[in-house]
Structure 1
Amino acid sequence: MNEKLLQYLWNFKIFKSFDFKDVEGNDLEILDFGRWNFDSGPDFLFAKLKTNDLVIAGNIELHVKSSDWIFHKHSGNPEFENIIAHVVFIHDVEIEEFKNKNIPTLELKDYIDENMLSKYETLLQETQFIPCEKIFNPNHFPLNFHEERLLKKLDEKSIEIEESLKRHQNNYEAILFHQLAYAFGLKVNALIFKQLAENIDYKIFSKIRQNQTQLEALLFGICGWIDQQNDEQSQIWKREFEFLKVKYQLPNFYIHPKFSKLRPPNFPTIRLSQLASLYHQNQNLFSKLINAKNTDEIHQIFSKVKASEYWNNRFNFGKISSVNNEKSLTKDFVDLILINAVLPLKYTYHKNIDENIPDEILTLYQSIPPEKNTIIDQWKTLKVNPKSALETQSLLFHHRHFCEKKECLRCGIGIRLMNI
């Protein structure tokens, strides 16, 4: 037993009997179980009970043991002054102030079904992909939370974006650059690429965007890749980087993207060259992406993006590859950029000025094919087959916030499983 479960049982009134008696043997009729409080203070507010022919209104505090009142140092806290009952799973000690004020203590141990406790303990102990994996069946418990979960994920992401906007003088174009860098880095280099972008003054990046060679020189130079290269193009990038350092008084900082665990097309060299190409080709990138009405329009913006010619027969500096082709963006990669960068920023930008933006964003996610990753593969083994990015994003959010944390009592599936 823990407090979270005890609060859940109290809130949903899941007891074998409601003929409650307090620890003194007095009848205790609960007229109103109260409103579950998720902020500081008593667990349930505005409750009402009847005892000794008196009807009392106020708040109720729940604990696993009576002694938790003492351990939690509630005595003397003004937030807990209007307590009308102390509800516990086990009454292990007399609380003197309750006795003096005639505040009843209700012990719930004998009113709770042991099967309920057993089910909950089993869920907490499981170390599977999701706690209820052995008893979960999507045919019996359809997942109807996808839109809600995705909107919560977007709100969570929106808070991060708004914090970034505060740090960067509300410059949405700079934040787009940071978000795109994060997405281009994929899982391995996402944070490293974002750090790179955040350490570049976006005004400088924007000034040189008409010159793709300078864009690449800036990105490659910060990564420290061109110092030791002797081929002609690397020497050009090196000269341009030295010129930019002097002209814009760039600070001496370097980052080190990772190559391990990546397929060659995802090497940071290729992805940064493509990022430079995207900005070189689109002088009004922010407005184009923010005002796009469908995913086809957005895909068109990325359709001609490719790494510079130097990379046609290379994936890394100084190494000629037997593969010789243009390194363009694939549709799957652009979809990831949409999911992880463009649509969250679009949602944040419009949410306070367009009441229809949630529906528009949900529609855009619904038009994108489902993602492919290990978490989604695990859901598929449970016969959950997402049909769009809306559903995969929802499943990723649900797994991270509910399943990994074993928040079964906040999950509609967990609640239903507990009650069968």
Structure 2
Amino acid sequence: MFDIKWISAHPDTFDAALRSRGAEPVSASLIAIDDERRAVVAELNAVQEKRNASSKLIGQAKAQKDEARAAKLMAEVGGLKDKLIELETREKQLTEQLRAALSVIPNLPADGVPEGADESDNAPYFRANESEATRPQKPNLAFAAKEHYEIGEAMGGMDFETAAKLSGSRFVVLKGQIARLERAIGQFMIDLHVDQHGYTEVQPPYLVRDEAMFGTGQLPKFDGDFFFASHGDGRLALIPTAEVPLTNIVRDSIIPEGELPLRFTALTPCFRSEAGSAGRDTRGMLRQHQFNKVEMVSIVTPDKSADEHERMLACAEEVLKRLDIHYRVMHLCTGDMGFGAQRTYDIEAWLPGQNTYREISSVSVCGDFQARRMDARYRDANGRPQYVHTLNGSGVAVGRALIAVMENYQYEDGSVTIPSVLRPYMGGVEKIGG
């Protein structure tokens, strides 16, 4: 969400940033709506002043027993009242029109984000003194690697057929050792972020109001991408990510600056209709309607958001390092970033079965974009309310981490070695299947 005053002062900058995201320039239409709204407000104020003045004159005329003048003034005030109702109605219409137009405009990219149209224009990202050699290496498999669903189905622990009977496509039933491994991965990650990365664990609701979805940018633009449950005369959304409830913890609030940063994490199921991905990744667990994910959310002052973004990326990377899964980090280009992001880093894990990298975490800084939609502020040292900056990131997607473990730790006989950091969560089991 944007400040129309800023857009009016920087229309060319605003439109250029939208073009870099593949969006149409809209500053002229937004400013035109706001100009009309301000003109209506000015007329409304003038009519209100005239009405107030006339009302005083009515009192004076009555005191002087000038009934003819009083009647004339009362008729005039009656006409002004009708005009006020007309202007107030128009002002509300224009305000809502402007709000609706602003609500579907994506965030503007930060300085230094690579310009491009799609994922082919994303750029590899390394910190200073970092290289491929400093990250876990690819496994040296002496056989043709299988994909996760081939391993899981042969093990009897990954059942897509039964899931289809229960719920349709893009669901899975996990059983036995694979179900336990999936649970172990989630527990390991949430413990890591709470015990070593300083996040506060939260168990949020899985159903949220439309206002919460609006606050983080899922609504109104992407209404068709989510599942909704009827609730009384309205509806509740099944969360597509714990980013929604975690970030909305600070909605409609003013936080003392000394309480920042706030860092929240949660392990939750996530629900997505995948409306825009028909035909993609139909085999296996890569793209499911329901999946588990560990989410991280940070609420910070503006001067700390860039550093916090790097910190969150490091927290997500640490998961892959401890699992000893090879990965790369991509700096997303302007055309591939999510709706609310100013800058996004994607962590892509190496999957031997597919012989390619696949996204396992996305870490974004949103600036004050979400805060404006949620009215989330902090009180600075001078006592003035200012908008917070919000950040979110996967820490990481549990189902995709399961896929990565199964494919990277597979043996030719169909068994899978359990990474050492997961063994305490597996009751000491070192190997499954085979």
TM-score by length of 1: 0.25
Higher relative contact order (CA 8 A, sep 6+): 2
Q: Which has the larger radius of gyration?
A: 1
